[in-house]
Structure 1
Amino acid sequence: MIRVDTHLHTVESGDAVTTVDQLADRVAACGLDVVCVTEHNHIAGYDLSRLIGARVVVGEEIRTRSGELIGLFLRERVPYVLPADEVVARIREQGGIVCAPHPYDPLRGGVGAELPSLCEAGLIDAVEVFNAKIADQSVNAAALATAREFGLPGTAGSDAHDPAGIGAAYLEMPDFDGPRDFLEALHSAVVHGEYRPHAPRF
């Protein structure tokens, strides 16, 4: 079993402060085996794995017309503000998978009430069922309920924008090799997480 933080950001996101060196330090301190680096409207353009001492899944948190979606296992950036179905098509053309992050959080730009229809249309592969930046756990619970309703696996991420947030939420799951194997392994994952707000900015 490995530990995977499925949603975090570095300085490349524009609104985060975590440097590569800080990410490496936190990965070691938290015992993470894999991190999904999901920058806002940007993907990592170099091999982070050798720099931080853990495997990196390259992802992107993409603003769509319906709200934010995450693409994982990407090779190319997906443009923002496209229709959700076009974003999903571009992710899947790369062999990636589609996750709905913080879907019901009113403080973030998730897909919200559109989540069930997106799931019904087969456009969502996984739902973020625990986001460590959400204080109201009924919001995470609602995401879990929708995932279960549609038989979709859940992810858990710190959504860290600062070093202290990294590892606040993660999955303990079987090891995987590639996106399809990852998606299958998610069905056996155990969620670990705690609420951890963003560090105050000065």
Structure 2
Amino acid sequence: MIVAPDTGRSARPGWVRVDCHVHTVASGDAVTTLDQLAERVAAHRIDVVCLTEHNHLDGTAERLSRAVGARVVLGEEIRTGSGELIGLFLNERVPYVLSAREVVRRVRAQGGVVCAPHPYDPLRSGVGAELDGMCEAGMIDAVEVFNAKVADQEHNRAASRTALAYGLPGTVGSDAHDPAGIGAAYVEMPDFDGPDSFLDALRAAERYGEHRPHARRYAR
């Protein structure tokens, strides 16, 4: 179940508020600066930001955490031959337009997590019809079950059904490309200290989100 965002309170003690899918100017098609991200993160009481720049890894988690004023999980939204995948907990960039299988191999070689973002939205480059086969092959660690930029909620619901069918945890993200989109979606989950505990904590997560039509996609 998705509940409307609530910025009037912080996450409960021992839990963190996490936006699992965020872009900045480093993506090339977004306009949010790190200073603007820091302002919005503070305003919406977000504790952890997964920075998932398009085909780009910008800096280190430690440096970006200091700049943003919240913990940063370093990630990348990677274009593959099958559609986009997100790698989280990365320390090296994964090149784009490799096969999905090779991208998964490179993400996991770093100890990272593979997530399928907006898999069924035809307006975004998700893996779509290939998601079932990838889940069956054990290539996917988590599925984005709510993306705030997906207009047709049936596409989000379909992602949620797939995650449930394969016993995979679900992520939630604003997919913000501008400051106004930040805070549109997040999870509240038990705190975590690495990829494995991140996935475990997601299973207990509470999901918050709303569609933000004004957080449009910018031309690259």
Instruction: Please give the range of the TM-score, normalised by the shorter of the 2 chains.
Output: over 0.9
Equivalent pairs: percent with the same residue?
74
Cα contact 2:113–2:195 (8 A) shared by 1: yes
Which of 110, 115, 128 is the aligned partner of 2:144? 128
In structure 2, what residue type is equivalent to 1:144?
A: S
Cα deviations by residue, 1:125-161 (Å, 9 ceiling, x for unpaired): 0000000001111000000000000000000000000
Question: Match for 1:28: what amino acid?
Answer: A
Q: 1 CA distance for matches of 2:215 and 2:176? A: 9
Q: Which residue is 1:91 aligned to? A: 107
> Counterpart in 1 of 2:191?
175
SS at match of 2:171: strand
Question: Residue 15 of structure 1 corresponds to which residue in structure 2?
Answer: 29
Whether 2:60 is the aligned partner of 1:35: answer no
State whether residues 68 and 111 of structure 1, in contact with CA within 8 Å, keep that contact through their aligned partners in structure 2.
yes
Residues 53, 75 of structure 2: 8 Å contact kept: yes
SS in structure 1 opposite 2:133? helix
Q: Indicate if the aligned counterparts of 2:49 and 2:70 stay in contact, CA closer than 8 A.
A: yes
Q: Residues of 2 paired with 1:96 and 1:45: CA distance?
A: 16
Contact 2:52-2:75 within 8 A present in 1 as well: yes
Instruction: Identify if the C-alpha distance between structure 1 residues 54 and 69 changes in structure 2 by more than 3 Å, giving closer, same or farther.
Output: same
2:71 aligned partner = 55
- Matching residue of 1:109: 125
Gaps of 5+ in 2: 1-14
Alignment TM-score, normalising by the size of structure 1: 0.98
- Aligned AA (1:2): V
Task: Return the alpha-carbon distance in structure 1 between the equivalents of residues 138 and 116 of structure 2.
Answer: 12
Number of the residue aligned with 2:163: 147
Aligned residue number for residue 18 of structure 2 = 4
Counterpart selection for 2:87 from 51, 71, 74 = 71
> Does structure 2 retain, via aligned residues, the 8 Å contact 1:96–1:179?
yes
Q: CA deviation at 1:51?
A: 1.2
Gapped runs of 5+ residues in structure 1? none
Q: Which residue of 2 aligns with 1:197?
A: 213
Compute the displacement of 1:198 (Å). 4.0
In 1, Cα distance between the equivalents of 2:159 and 2:215? 25
> Are the equivalent residues in 2 in contact too, given 1:160–1:198 (CA < 8 A)?
no
* Other-structure match for 2:9: none
Question: Distance between the aligned counterparts of 2:198 and 2:74, measured in 1?
Answer: 13
Identify the residue that residue 5 of structure 2 maps to in structure 1. none
CA contact (8 A) 1:162 1:198 kept: no
Contact residue 176 and residue 215 of structure 2 kept, 8 A: no
Root-mean-square deviation (CA), in Å?
0.9
Which residue type is aligned with residue 198 of structure 2? F
Q: Displacement of 1:52 after TM fit? A: 1.3
Task: State the SS of the aligned residue for 1:76.
Answer: coil
Query: Could you tell me how far 1:45 is from its partner in structure 2?
Result: 1.4
Kept in 2, the 8 Å contact 1:64–1:83? The answer is yes
Q: Report the Cα distance in structure 2 between the residues aligned to 1:146 and 1:56, rounded to whole angstroms.
A: 27
What amino acid maps onto 2:36 in structure 1? Q
CA shift at 1:199, angstroms? 4.1
8 Å contact from structure 2 (residues 143, 171) kept in 1: yes
* TM-score, normalised with respect to structure 2: 0.90
Q: Is the 2:21–2:176 Cα contact (8 Å) retained in structure 1?
A: yes
